[in-house]
Every structure is written in C-alpha cells, then in structure tokens.
Amino acid sequence: MNAAKPTAIKIRDAVLPWLEDNGRLEQIIDFDIIQGEIGDFTFQYRTPSNGRPAEYKPKTKEEAEFLNRHGPATLPFAMVILHQRKRVLMVSWKERNEHLGTRVTFMGSGRGAWEAELLSLMASVAPQQ
C-alpha cells in the first residue's frame, strides 16, 4: 500500500461527515457536485448519483480537464481538496467506505502541513460523542 494512502483515507473519512452535513449542491460545467468550504479548505465531492455516467464523453477541453480532476468514471466516488485555492489531494474510490482499491493522488505541493491542519480542523467541528 502506498505510504500516503492511509493518511488520505483518514482525511477522506474525517471530511465526509462534515461535507455531507454542511455541503451544498453545485453545478460545475454540466456536472453536479457537493461542495463545501471551511477555513482555507474547499471540498468537492462526486457520488454515483451526482457524477457522470461511465460512458460519458467530454464535449469540450474544459469538460475533459474537469473530468480528469475528479477521478476516473470507473471509481464513482471522488473528493478533491483545495487548500488556499490550490488542489492538494484527490481521492477516488468504488464503494462507500472502501479502503482497498482507493486511488490517491496528491497534487500541487503534495503532502505537507495542510494535512495536520485539516485533520485538526475536522476534529474541532466533529460532533461530540
């Protein structure tokens, strides 16, 4: 397993509950995503119900770039995380809580202090048990 994958999965699992409660449906090009912002972070989440069909062919270069940024159609769940408006992580996966088979792509500056900052932020807004 890629050494970065456990951290990316931990980040995904920390962000998803917050995003499902606080995100809003947004349309980018012709695609619906769930988007939310907190602090210096922006999250964009694609699910099978708001993503593109597997056989979808992009109509423009802009669409092709958007689709490439949001993971392969064969992995219907995807989350893109931006820190200070720069993409830092894309995680895509097939099943709701899947860990094996998850595709992780660190973007831009890659791994860094933003990871701890985000995990701390998510812990501070998580519902108390």
Torsions phi, psi for 15 (to 5 deg)? -80, -40
What is the tally of structural domains in the chain?
Answer: 1
Residue-by-residue pLDDT tens, the chain, 129 positions: 466 778 888 899 999 999 999 999 988 766 788 999 999 999 999 887 765 555 566 677 776 666 666 555 567 788 889 999 988 888 887 775 555 566 666 555 568 899 999 999 999 998 766
Look at residue 71 and tell me if it is in a domain.
yes
Look at residue 129 and tell me if it is in a domain.
no
What's the domain range around 89? 5-123
Look at residue 128 and tell me if it is in a domain.
no
Look at residue 56 and tell me if it is in a domain.
yes
Q: What is the pTM of this model?
A: 0.77
Look at residue 111 and tell me if it is in a domain.
yes
Coil, strand, or helix at residue 109? Answer: coil
